[in-house]
Structure formats: C-alpha cells, structure tokens
Amino acid sequence: MSDLTRAIDEVPRRSLKATPFDVSISVQIAATLNEIHEILQDPLGIRTWWSSSILCAEPLSPAPRTHAGFVMKCFAKGFFPHAFQFRATVVTFERDRFVFETRGDFDGVMHIHAMEDGDRVTVTARWLVDVRHPFIQPLVRLRALRPLFRWNHRWSMRQGTLGLQDAVRRRRLNLPPAPCRQPTFPHNFRHLRVPSRWRC
C-alpha cells in the first residue's frame, strides 16, 4: 500500500461519500522538502503564491495554523469564470504529507504527498470531491461536461505549482512574497476577489 493510499484510508469516510470526482496530478518542483514545508507552514500564504486561484482566505480557527484542526474559509476559482466558497480544515500536516478537508461548495478531501528526487521534489496531489455549488452542481452531473471540470481543476493545480516554484525562488533570493499570477476574468478585477456574502 502506497503512502498516498494509506493517507486516503485514514480520512473519515464521511469525507468520501457520494464523491463524483477523483482527480490526481503529479508535478516536480525545483526545491527541497524543507523549503516546501516552510512555505506551507503559513496556510494563508496561498493568497499570495497561489493568487490566480485563491482569491481570498480568512482564518476561522485560533489554533496554530500548522496544527491539525486549523480552519480557514476560502474563495477560489479555476480558469472558468465561476468561483467557489468553502471551509478548509487541516487534517494532517507533516514534512512530506498533507491532508485537507473541505466543506461548502466543495465537500471532499485533498491529499498531498511530497518526495525528494535529487534536486527536485515530486508532489502528488489527489482531490476527492463532491461539488455542491448551487449553479455548478447540475452541470457536474452531466458526464459529458466532467472532462471540462477536471481540466479546470488541473489548470488550477498547475497555477499552484508555478506559484510555489516562484515562492521558492523568491525565498532563495531573500525577496518578499509577491503574487505570481493574476486570476482570470472576471476576477482580474480586484473588487470581485472578495465574496459579497460568505455562505460557508
């Protein structure tokens, strides 16, 4: 049994029921495990290095941000114009393994496993999710459209990879954090990057 499979089996089964999507992606980042871990120690930092997808993130839990149980609410998007609101809870935070559970427009769990490979880190992410967004959910149920939503997710993950790589580069050069990429339309307009009303 692989570490990733074992991590999935450890997540409460309530996270996986009625899950229509099981999307995986594997990427390589020119970094060390320690560099990746140090960046991820600040979960709210995703607002900066993953700025093309994470439009807004706010803490909901006073617990230490790198400990299990930390909760934040997120407003996020992919390439397509719609956006999602959800609560993300840290389930596992280790040097080479991270598990996040979501509730809201996304009900599911994200498993991330990192492994050093020479001067690079191979990051494998698996996203098991049931889409609950009131307008998108009916479309997701149409099998013909599911490849589009999978592509949208993988696009977002690629943006995260590029942003994380840029965050590593900036740390090595002792540069302050800065947004890597702008979100796509219509959230390229700043006033649309915060929801008018939180639903999660």
At 8, is the pLDDT very low, low, confident or very high (cuts 50, 70, 90)?
very low
| 30: CATH | 3.30.530.20
Q: What is residue 18's predicted lDDT score, i.e. its pLDDT?
A: 53
Q: What is residue 21's predicted lDDT score, i.e. its pLDDT?
A: 84
Report if residue 199 sits inside a domain: no
pLDDT in tens, 118-158: 999 999 999 999 999 999 999 988 989 989 999 999 999 99
Report if residue 98 sits inside a domain: yes
Q: In angstroms, rounded to a whole number, what is the distance separating the alpha carbons of residues 165 and 30?
A: 7
Report if residue 106 sits inside a domain: yes
What does the CA dihedral 70, 131, 194, 43 come to, rounded to 10 degrees? Answer: 30
> What is the percent of the chain where pLDDT is above 90?
76
Beta carbons of 80 and 90 less than 8 angstroms apart: no
Q: What is residue 1's predicted lDDT score, i.e. its pLDDT?
A: 43
Query: What average pLDDT does range 38-66 have in this prediction?
Result: 88
Q: What is residue 71's predicted lDDT score, i.e. its pLDDT?
A: 94
Q: Does the structure show a pLDDT above 70 at 191?
A: yes
Report if residue 92 sits inside a domain: yes
pLDDT in tens, 74-120: 999 999 999 999 999 999 999 999 999 999 999 999 999 999 999 99
Burial of 181 (0-12, 13-18, 19+ CB in 10 A): middle
Query: How many domains is the chain partitioned into structurally?
Result: 1
Report if residue 41 sits inside a domain: yes
Question: Domain residues for 145?
Answer: 3-171
Give me the amino acid identity at 199.
R
Containing H/E element for 152? helix 146-172
Q: What is residue 140's predicted lDDT score, i.e. its pLDDT?
A: 87
Report if residue 37 sits inside a domain: yes
At 64, is the pLDDT very low, low, confident or very high (cuts 50, 70, 90)?
low
Report if residue 178 sits inside a domain: no
Report if residue 176 sits inside a domain: no
- Please, what is the end-to-end C-alpha distance for the chain in angstroms? 35
pLDDT in tens, 14-45: 444 555 789 999 999 999 999 999 999 888 99
Which of 2-11, 132-141, 154-163 has the highest average model confidence (pLDDT)?
A: 154-163
